[in-house]
């Protein structure tokens, strides 16, 4: 079981997608395609849970019983090399959970059902492959596998501007992928002299080889060029300012479930890539770039929050809040250079925990916005001034929904408060650790970054007040409260938000050992 579980996690969705075609043709059961997708992702959750329960966070990747290393393309020393550690397992659990929930959230999809759910499962496989790959070539393949399904999922099932949003997402991601490809080739070529004349894509082996690179290219240090190429590739996915402009449009135009995956999982791949590849392979450049990374993190925090304040579309507001909250991750990651070991550990632990916690919180936010949109067919906090119905222009889009939809309003309140980072909710502990680590290394920058907390409060509380409080808008007195299926998508996430808010120990224990090893690699280079 140990030797096959990682492969099953990756390729089970592919098998599900393959089975859909004959099933839809020969099995005359309503929604058979949806049930196959639900069953596939359900089994994936069980496998991920079993992996977590049998995972020893103190064991290195190479000593883990779950590691699979098989020769693939011998001529170029490319391997099917997959493994799991404290950095990847939170992302594996998050991907499995959100994939299952997104299938439930997509149950109302009636347009090209076979295409939608098969593409979603292929996307699921690509995401899982990224988090489990320990061969750079394999990592890159799975990274690219995600691109096409997401392009079509936005471009076919998205909103009015879906084609523009899909093309913008595709071009931005492809641009970043080209830089990553160049870095991968560079690492392969420039490490050959230190590996007995043989190139390698093994990330474990490259941790030993890459720091030895001492060459110049076009008058620049090769390690610096590799860092820049990797950073651009991953920064676009995060997204780091100024590469963030694709995100709000993609979120707004994507179907609800795809917005959940975009914010909950795909954004984390950028920071995961930095931690998995850039940090251990190029520790010297991490040290040199740390202050810049902290600056970019603070810019993300403030710029994302300020843009969120300006939004009158709830979904776009949540999208910009994601830009802001990923800034906390960047700030925590930059704290790796702190002179205080406790500060470095706090910042890095906080960064990885924030990746998981933000994934759950923002998933809940997008799901809840989708619930309202399905009934009201709009997401306006305030109608735009150029609205086609001039009688509505500039007026509140909703109002007083708490009396009409009490359970739904309570769920939104929980999600908003979690986004605020209030104590006893999961966002608090991860953001606090990011600030603790950040303050130990960059006091002034971190102090400026804390303004993001105040800005978060402005847009979340203002939106809640305008949509849910005050007298009921009679135009929406026919809206019904959140239904059982919709509640089933939200409650598991709400449980995790509450659990890790009051008892973060399982998450801390999961990541601490692997993060400690990563910190040691960086600190030794200082």
pLDDT of residue 390: 64
Exposed/middle/buried for 208, CB within 10 Å: 0-12, 13-18, 19+?
Answer: middle
Query: What count of Cα atoms within 13 Å lies in the side-chain half-sphere of residue 182?
Result: 17
Measured between alpha carbons, how far is 164 from 141 in angstroms, rounded to an integer? 25
Number of C-beta neighbours around residue 189 at 10 A: 13
pLDDT of residue 514: 86
pLDDT of residue 526: 67
Closest CA to 475 of 370, 407, 410, 396: 396
pLDDT of residue 362: 93
Written as six digits, the tokens of 1 are: 């079981």
Closest CA to 374 of 418, 315, 416: 315
Handedness of CA 380, 385, 389, 390 (dihedral sign): positive
Question: Which residue matches tokens 């300012």?
Answer: 241
Question: Which residue matches tokens 């393959």?
Answer: 18
Measured between alpha carbons, how far is 308 from 331 in angstroms, rounded to an integer? 20
Q: Which residues of the chain have pLDDT under 70?
A: 1-3, 62-63, 386-393, 526
SS3 221: strand
Specify the DSSP class assigned to residue 324. Answer: H
Angle 441-444-318 from CA coordinates, rounded to 5°: 95
Backbone angles phi, psi at 485, to 5 degrees: -65, -45
């Amino acid at each position: 079981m140990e030797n096959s579980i990682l492969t099953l996690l990756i390729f089970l969705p592919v098998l599900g997608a393959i089975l859909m075609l004959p099933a839809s043709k020969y099995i005359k059961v309503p929604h058979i395609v949806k049930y196959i997708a639900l069953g596939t992702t359900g089994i994936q959750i069980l496998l991920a849970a079993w992996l977590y329960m049998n995972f020893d966070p103190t064991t290195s990747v190479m000593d883990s019983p779950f590691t699979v290393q098989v020769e693939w393309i011998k001529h170029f020393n490319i391997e099917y090399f997959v493994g799991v550690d404290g950095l990847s397992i939170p992302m594996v659990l998050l991907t499995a959970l959100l994939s299952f929930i997104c299938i439930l959230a997509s149950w109302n999809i009636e347009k090209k059902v076979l295409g939608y759910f098969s593409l979603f499962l292929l996307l699921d496989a690509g995401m899982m492959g990224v988090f489990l790959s320990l061969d750079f070539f394999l990592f890159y393949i799975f990274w690219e596998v995600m691109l096409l399904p997401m392009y079509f999922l936005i471009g076919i099932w998205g909103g009015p501007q879906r084609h523009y949003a899909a093309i913008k997402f595709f071009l931005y991601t492809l641009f970043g992928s080209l830089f990553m490809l160049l870095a991968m080739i560079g690492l392969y070529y420039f490490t050959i002299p230190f590996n007995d004349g043989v190139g390698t894509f093994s990330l474990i082996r490259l941790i030993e080889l890459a720091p030895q690179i001492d060459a110049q290219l076009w008058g620049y240090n090769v390690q610096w060029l590799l860092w820049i190429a990797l950073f651009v590739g991953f920064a676009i996915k995060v997204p780091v300012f100024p590469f963030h402009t694709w995100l709000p449009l993609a979120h707004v135009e994507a179907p609800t479930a795809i917005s959940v995956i975009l914010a909950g999982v795909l954004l984390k791949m950028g920071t995961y890539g930095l931690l998995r590849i850039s940090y251990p392979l190029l520790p010297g450049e991490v040290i040199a770039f740390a202050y810049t990374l902290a600056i970019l993190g603070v810019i993300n925090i403030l710029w994302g929050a300020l843009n969120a304040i300006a939004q009158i579309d709830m979904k776009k507001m949540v999208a910009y809040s994601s830009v802001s909250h990923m800034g906390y991750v960047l700030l925590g990651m930059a704290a790796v250079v702190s002179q205080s070991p406790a500060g470095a550990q706090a910042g890095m632990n906080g960064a990885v925990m924030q990746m998981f916690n933000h994934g759950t919180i923002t998933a809940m936010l997008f799901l809840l916005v989708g619930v309202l949109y399905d009934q009201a067919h709009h997401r306006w906090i305030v109608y735009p001034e150029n609205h086609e119905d001039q009688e509505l222009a500039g007026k509140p889009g909703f109002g007083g929904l708490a009396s009409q939809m009490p359970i739904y309003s309570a769920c939104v309140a929980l999600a908003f408060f979690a986004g605020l980072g209030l104590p006893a909710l999961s966002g608090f502990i991860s953001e606090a650790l990011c600030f603790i680590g950040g303050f130990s290394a960059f006091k002034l920058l971190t102090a400026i970054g804390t303004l993001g907390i105040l800005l978060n409060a402005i847009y979340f509380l203002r939106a809640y007040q305008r949509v849910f409080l005050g007298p009921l808008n009679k135009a929406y007195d026919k809206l019904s409260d959140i239904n059982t299926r919709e509640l089933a998508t939200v409650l598991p996430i709400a449980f995790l938000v509450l659990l890790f808010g009051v008892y973060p120990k399982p998450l801390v224990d999961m990541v601490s050992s692997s993060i400690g090893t990563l910190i040691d690699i960086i600190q030794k280079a200082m």
